[in-house]
Amino acid sequence: MGIKWNEILVGGDPLLVGSQIAIVLTVVAIVVGLTYFKKWGWLWREWLTTVDHKKIGIMYIVSGVLMFFRGGIDGLLMKAQTARPEMNFLDAQHYNEIFTTHGVIMILFMAMPLLIGLMNVVVPLQIGARDVAFPQLNALSFWLFFSGAMLFNISFVVGGSPDAGWTSYFPLAGKEFSPGIGNNYYAIALQIAGLGTLMTGINFIVTILKMRAPGMTLMKMPMFTWTTLITSIIIVAAFPIFTVALALMTFDRLYGTHFFTLSSGGSDMLWANLFWLWAHPEVYIVILPAFGIFSEVIATFSRKTLYGYKSMVISIVGIAFLSMIVWVHHFYTMDAGPAVNSFFSITTMLIAVPTGVKIFNWLFTMRKGRIQFTTAMLWALAFVPNFVIGGVTGVMLAMAAADYQYHNTLFLVAHFHYVLIPGVVFAVFAGLYYWWPKMFGFMLNEKLGKYHFWLFTIGFNVTFMPMFFLGLKGAVRRAYTYSAESGFAPLFLVSAIGSIILAIGFAVFCYNIYWSFRYAKRNVSHDPWDARTLEWMTASPVQFYNFAVVPEVKQLDAFWHMKKRGETLTLKESDIKKIHMPSNSGLPFYMAVVFGITGFFLVFEAHIAAAVAAIGIVVGLIVRSFDYDDGYYVSVDEIKQTERTWRNVEGGTENHVG
Amino acid sequence: MEHKSKYPVSHVVGFLFSLVLTFVAVFVALKMNVSYTIVMWIIGSLAVIQAGLQLFMFMHVTEGEDGKTNVINMAYAVFVAIVIVAGSIWVLTSGHAAH
């Protein structure tokens, strides 16, 4: 097998040893804490076996915030290393590992779960459904994602991190040039997490197409639901490509095939081609739901209906279509010839058109609106100018001829951080501040939120703006150091200082969660923002069955118009019927465990052990096939009791309890 | 597909046919002594046959109230397939990169 089992734990570096000790202490603390407070049963019943879309969403969000922390630490380490020329804080190998894990974690284990988490919490509520179409599959999605994320995260202390970049280009990522097991983690862990994402895509397509409240036609859906639908369709188109590419990579690395190798007829650029066939749509998978969040936030806090709804929908579909035919712009320098590069230049620049339409629609939504400067709205406002910087530099990069100059420089790195941070991270923060009361029944502190906003936004610009200029001066990406003579030092230092401000901003956010959890007012209204869509029609936090009576939708912004028409939330007792709900299941969690164990053995190329563990996966599938549990009914009495806690079941109602 | 009995006959048949087609492809690729081009054509054809077979045996292509959904699904699948297969071949075989 060639694996030295006594050298599995990566040692030597004080940073790594410190992390190992911290991990062990944290695990011990969690186990002792759960036992001491007798919370094991609660954890199992309420969270590990839940199929409730809101709880699954919250678990996604918690994982995403934790991964944000991990990826952020990676980013800070890189910034510390490059703060001064010829620093010896990290060596080249460690730096390679850190930029690789930073990229993978921030895209796949931070951006994806935070957005999928918000989709899970919000979309069924926005369409007036009681859960997603396949609740147990949804739980399996989460647990597979979690299993993959954990497997990937242990790499830096067990066996060594992948070090070939988040793109893992061949031939570098092949066995020939990366003989260690680090890159096995990439192939296996992303495969497991990707399975979960694919299932999420299918689940949300079916949920949105089949489970909308009566009267909600496609063109009456809230914009976030629209973006989720289109995102899910791109997931279903793009993720299988990655599944296949990763499987071929696994064969190359573990079983000696030659799909991507230089020798024996392999094609290294085929990997780059397949990778970007997935990874470019992946960028739109994370940006489209974010656009949906901004649409909801801007409409709510401008007190206006979204401007140009139809053109918004056409733009999303256009972006989704174009997202599939721009992938070569990531490797113009492969030199595929003028016809190919010109085609992909044009399609790439075309994306600016629907995106521009969307930007103007948001601006026109705000025009003559009565704008409320809540924290959520601040993120949406800051998004517009910052994202435009990212978008315009993107059009610069889209020109194949010019790209030969920018390629592999920090200009590119600055560009995609200007797209992904305002586009995705700002959206996630906006969404979290906006929907927090719906999830937890209390609001995040607005004052701390504003500190968070200003520190993060200023820190972001100070970190990444200098990198545009560093890139234009010729500073390359993924280089662990530079000479004093290069003249890069001052801008790198500014960038490092910016990253500290950025980190303080994130720390304020974490403190805000803690502060609000302990001290925020609890009797928050079901509709604290005077919002427009159906999720605000039901209690905060939402009852497990979502809606006592499924609402009837007559137009866009259904809840807003109900309020305008003076329709109260009073519930007639005769309208309450028993509700059918899905049962909890421990199977998704079990599957995550066996997938994780199988994956771990595969990473270490222990093939027989992996095969034995894989029997566990098959057993899980068989058990599921014979599962005839059709769920249970919530009794009318229980519904009445639950509804009485937040509204009058017969008689008058209060629109604003808080 | 409507089943009189509970036993999923078409699924089992489809599964067996898929296995046979796959093993024939393996045999052609590894054991038959013909030129590279012929091997490519044979296993390519077998792949298309298997895709069609699976559409009928597993993918519910004959079900549904109207044909609209299936037409949309097919158009989507064809678009994705053309982009991935034709696109990759075009990108990797044109220009300097191929030489």
Instruction: Name the minimum distance, in Å, from the CA of A489 to any CA of chain B.
Output: 37
Dist. CA A602–CA A610, nearest whole Å: 6
**Are B58 and B77 members of one domain?**
no
Dist. CA A379–CA A359, nearest whole Å: 14
Dist. CA A164–CA A100, nearest whole Å: 6
Give the domain range for residue B95.
64-99
How confident is residue B96, by pLDDT bands cut at 50, 70 and 90? low
Q: Domains in chain B: how many in total? A: 2
**Are B6 and B48 members of one domain?**
yes
Closest chain A residue by Cα to residue B88? A273
Dist. CA A13–CA A7, nearest whole Å: 14
Q: How does DSSP classify residue A581?
A: E
**Are B59 and B93 members of one domain?**
no
Whether A7 has a pLDDT exceeding 80, the answer reads no
Closest listed residue to residue A639, CA positions, set A538, A511, A553: A538
pLDDT, tens digit, 9 for 90 and up, residues A56-72? 999 999 999 999 999 99
- Cβ of B88 within 8 Å of Cβ of A340? The answer is no
- Cβ of A335 within 8 Å of Cβ of B97? The answer is yes
- Cβ of B76 within 8 Å of Cβ of A237? The answer is yes
**Are B35 and B48 members of one domain?**
yes
Whether A127 has a pLDDT exceeding 50, the answer reads yes
pLDDT, tens digit, 9 for 90 and up, residues A302-329? 999 999 999 999 999 999 999 999 999 9
Of the partner residues A241, A269, A340, the one whose CB lies closest to the CB of residue B90 = A340
Is A325 in contact with A347 (CB distance < 8 Å)? yes
**Are B3 and B44 members of one domain?**
yes
How confident is residue A31, by pLDDT bands cut at 50, 70 and 90? confident
**Are B55 and B82 members of one domain?**
no
Give phi and psi for A158, each to the nearest 5. -120, 95
Closest listed residue to residue A320, CA positions, set A238, A199, A420: A238
Segment A565-579 mean pLDDT: 84
Least confident of A256-265, B24-33, B56-65: B56-65
Dihedral (CA of A139, A144, A149, A155) sign: positive
Q: What is the 3-state secondary structure (H, E, C) of A297-348?
A: HHHHHCCCCCCCHHHHHHHHHHHHHHHCCCHHHHCHHHCCCHHHHHHHHHHH
Average pLDDT of chain A?
A: 91
To probe the interface with A, which of B6, B11, B74, B84 has the most A CB atoms within 10 Å? Answer: B84
CA-angle at A42, arms to A39 and A46, nearest 5°: 145
Q: Tally A–B CB contacts below 8 A.
A: 46
Q: What is the pLDDT of residue A4?
A: 58
pLDDT, tens digit, 9 for 90 and up, residues B4-24? 557 788 888 889 999 999 999
pLDDT, tens digit, 9 for 90 and up, residues A319-378? 999 999 999 999 998 888 889 999 999 999 999 999 999 999 999 999 999 999 999 999
Dihedral (CA of A365, A371, A374, A379) sign: positive
Residues of A in contact with B87 (CB under 8 A): 277, 325, 327
Dist. CA B10–CA A481, nearest whole Å: 62
Q: What is the pLDDT of residue A653?
A: 44
Give phi and psi for A391, each to the nearest 5. -70, -45
The answer to ipTM > 0.95 is no
**Are B20 and B58 members of one domain?**
yes
Q: What is the pLDDT of residue A651?
A: 43
pLDDT, tens digit, 9 for 90 and up, residues A393-425? 999 999 999 999 999 999 999 999 999 999 999
Query: A253 vs B11, which has greater pLDDT?
Result: A253
Dist. CA A73–CA A286, nearest whole Å: 22
Neighbours of A632 (CB within 10 A): 13
Dist. CA A75–CA A645, nearest whole Å: 46
Least confident of A33-47, A64-78, A491-505: A33-47
- Domain ranges for chain A: 1-38, 39-585+629-644
Distances (CA, A) of A99 to A161, A168, A410, A549: 10, 11, 13, 50
**Are B52 and B82 members of one domain?**
no
Query: A40 vs A505, which has greater pLDDT?
Result: A505
* Residue A324 touches partner B, C-beta closer than 8 Å: yes
**Are B17 and B2 members of one domain?**
yes
Diameter over CA atoms, chain B: 59
**Are B17 and B46 members of one domain?**
yes
**Are B34 and B79 members of one domain?**
no
**Are B77 and B59 members of one domain?**
no
How confident is residue A1, by pLDDT bands cut at 50, 70 and 90? very low
Closest listed residue to residue A272, CA positions, set A373, A365, A169: A169
Question: By three-state DSSP, how is residue A114 classified?
Answer: helix
Whether A213 has a pLDDT exceeding 70, the answer reads yes
CATH class belonging to A39-585+629-644: mainly alpha
Closest chain A residue by Cα to residue B92? A336
